[in-house]
């Protein structure tokens, strides 16, 4: 059904959701990989192993959640606040909790209703309430904007993928060094 090969570099479902927009910091190249409800259902299955229905309404709400979560992480990384996005995430989280089923063993967690939007809202809330937001990173690649959790010991990860954005940056540095020498 879908020929696009999904990539999961975020290290967390909420960040992989944000990363379904490629090249988001370069408007000329920006691509929304969740272009249809079918693509959303396909991505969700690839990301979680769960099968759930998606329609135009689910897609619209997931996109709104994705925008709010991305803006909140960006604001955090830029040392800012974003009350509107925080409210949107909170509202989606509360709606998902209303429909959730409580788990019965530790670690005590709520189980999403089965709806894609609820599953993702709980994931976004889980990420944004974790005690270590210092691990949140944005790829240094030009225009990339992909987000990830840096789990390296010395917090040194700069790229969404060292074979992708990291490699492009190395090639660019090499080319400019050669130009300087010429």
Q: Which is nearer to Zn ion, 53 or 140 (CB)?
A: 140
- The least distance separating Zn ion from the CB of residue 159, rounded to whole angstroms, comes to 6
Residues in contact with Zn ion, counted by CB under 5 A, come to a total of: 6
Instruction: Please report how close the Cβ of residue 42 comes to Zn ion at its closest, in angstroms.
Output: 22
In whole angstroms, how close is the CB of 167 to Zn ion at the nearest point?
A: 10
How far, in whole angstroms, is CA 91 from its chain's centroid? 18
Q: Does 10 bind Zn ion (CB under 5 A)?
A: no
Among 43, 44, 93, 146, binds Zn ion (CB under 5 A): 146
CA-angle at 39, arms to 37 and 45, nearest 5°: 105
Q: What values do phi and psi take at 143, rounded to 5?
A: 80, -5
Per CB under 5 A, which of residues 112..141 are in contact with Zn ion? Answer: 139, 141
Is position 69 an interface residue for Zn ion (rule: CB under 5 A)?
Answer: no
User: Which residue number, 66 or 157, has a Cβ lying nearer to Zn ion?
Assistant: 157
CA–centroid distance for 82 within its chain:
17
Residue 132 has phi, psi (to 5 degrees) of -120, 65
Nearer to Zn ion, 43 or 146 (CB): 146
**Contacts of Zn ion in 149-168 (CB under 5 A):** 160, 165
State the nearest-atom distance from the C-beta of 178 to Zn ion, in Å.
24
Cis peptide before 107 (omega within 30 of 0): yes
147 binds Zn ion (CB under 5 A): no
User: Cα 126 vs. chain centroid, distance in angstroms?
Assistant: 13
20 and 54 in contact (C-beta within 8 Å)? no
Contacts of 82 (CB under 8 A, 6+ apart): 71, 72, 74, 75
Nearest approach, Cβ of residue 150 and Zn ion (Å): 13
**Contact call for residues 56 and 41 (beta carbons, < 8 A):** no
- Distance in Å, CB of 176 to Zn ion, minimum: 19
Binding footprint of Zn ion on the chain (CB under 5 A):
139, 141, 144, 146, 160, 165
């Amino acid at each position: 059904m879908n020929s696009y090969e999904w990539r999961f570099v975020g290290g967390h479902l909420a960040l992989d959701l944000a990363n379904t927009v490629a090249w988001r910091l370069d408007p000329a190249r920006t691509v929304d990989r969740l272009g249809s409800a079918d693509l959303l259902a396909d991505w969700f299955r690839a990301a979680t192993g769960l099968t759930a229905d998606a329609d135009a309404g689910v897609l619209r709400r997931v996109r709104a959640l994705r925008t709010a979560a991305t803006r909140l992480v960006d604001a955090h990384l830029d040392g800012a606040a974003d009350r509107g996005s925080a409210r949107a995430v909170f509202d989606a989280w509360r709606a998902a909790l209303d429909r959730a089923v409580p788990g019965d063993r530790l670690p005590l967690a709520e189980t999403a209703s089965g709806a894609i939007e609820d599953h993702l809202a709980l994931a976004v809330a889980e990420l944004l309430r974790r005690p270590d937001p210092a691990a949140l990173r944005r790829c240094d690649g030009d225009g990339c904007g992909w987000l990830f959790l840096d789990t390296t010991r010395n917090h040194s990860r700069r790229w969404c993928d060292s074979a992708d954005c990291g490699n492009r940056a190395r090639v660019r540095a090499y080319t400019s060094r050669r130009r300087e020498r010429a």
